[in-house]
Structure 1
């Protein structure tokens, strides 16, 4: 019977040696889960834009205040390229985004536009008139924006002040100035990196040229003839752009 305890001791010793040969299984904490930070539209940004403005004709009414004769004429292509810079700031409240933006563009518009109005008729019924070419080389806006963000995609509406600089020759010298109006539109902006966004937007623009008066001498008696002209300029603008958000 004394051999049984010895046999059990041998088995236990052998089991301990076998267990010692097994690889150790130390506890390892799971790796922490890292979540990507949510994108925010809040912040200041600057960028570039380019596109086109589209307006096929403009109406002009000429009134001879001496005779009371009024004539209207419409001609010209006021479409062309626009491109420049913009800057703005956004505030995000949940999914809603509000902001302000200002831009100024070079505008290659109206180079082919000419106006003509009848000033007076002589005794034989021959019309005498004047012509003018006009152009627009400055275009800009100062607008508010409000939109709804689907993470990195922002759909927005926008509106505010629009302005344009007009130049021209002929009978109205005060056309070489900047006129103001208004604009309204909307667009889509997408953030393709944490700092870079791309956008496409469309705007309707209405610029009030106001009334212009000039004194002309055309009849045989050299009598002065005053001609007045009222003009509004409206156009659709489509632009794409990129912004860097700080």
Structure 2
């Protein structure tokens, strides 16, 4: 995991502490909560949101290092027991990550994840870890010819999320994504894409 990712998460967590000090409205989420502390901010229940970030990675058996903007939609469901928050989250991202190596161009048009999350809530501040399944596309291009392969793999990361206004939260997150190898006849090699991504996002909690 990059030093930049750790620094970004730490920065938001520090800023979140200030937000934590301000009075946040108490929200009862009884239908969704396992055991919510009294007079505390609730993270329980379903949510939908959007993310925007930056991706950088590498393609095995080549010198290509695709990078670019990535953004998309996310959704999930949290349960809460005391200060422990756990749940499931999925997302789908479109990206502009690409790079040229010799006469070849490699790009990652899209990727998605399906993950578990577990974290610790300091009232309206949530620090969490996440891991699960990843899937996405790696495309090779040569002289106008294209070959695209869809792969599955794994992902893991960390993040910080802050309740900012009523049902709205903001977050910053780092994910590492590793997709499995596929054979590319255009290049004559077996290649796989792995990358890191740092992204910010907003969620609406129902």
Aligned residue number for residue 229 of structure 1: 189
What is the CA distance between 1:145 and its match in structure 2? 0.3
Task: Please say if residues 49 and 201 of structure 2, whose CA atoms lie closer than 8 Å, have aligned partners that are also in contact.
Answer: yes
d(CA) in 2 for partners of 1:149, 1:184: 20
SS, match of residue 134 in structure 1: strand
Alignment of 1:245 with 2:200, yes or no, is no
d(CA) in 1 for partners of 2:175, 2:71: 14
Unmatched runs of 5 consecutive residues or more in structure 1: 1-34, 61-73, 116-130, 215-226
- Structure 1 vs Structure 2 CA RMSD: 2.2
TM-score with structure 1 setting the length? 0.63
SS, match of residue 39 in structure 1: coil
Question: Could you say if the C-alpha distance between residues 109 and 84 of structure 1 is closer, same or farther in structure 2, counting changes exceeding 3 Å?
Answer: same
Alignment of 1:205 with 2:192, yes or no, is no
Deviations 1:138-189 (A, max 9, x none): 1111111001111110010001111112223349x88313211111001000
Alignment of 1:77 with 2:79, yes or no, is no
d(CA) in 2 for partners of 1:114, 1:46: 38
Unmatched runs of 5 consecutive residues or more in structure 2: 1-24, 27-38
What is the CA distance between 1:91 and its match in structure 2? 0.3
Q: Pick from 145, 148, 152: which aligns with 2:117?
A: 145
Aligned residue number for residue 60 of structure 2: 59
Task: Please say if residues 64 and 106 of structure 2, whose CA atoms lie closer than 8 Å, have aligned partners that are also in contact.
Answer: no
Task: Please say if residues 85 and 120 of structure 2, whose CA atoms lie closer than 8 Å, have aligned partners that are also in contact.
Answer: yes
Structure (1 or 2) with the larger CA radius of gyration: 1
Alignment of 1:164 with 2:136, yes or no, is yes
Aligned residue number for residue 96 of structure 1: 84
Aligned residue number for residue 13 of structure 1: none
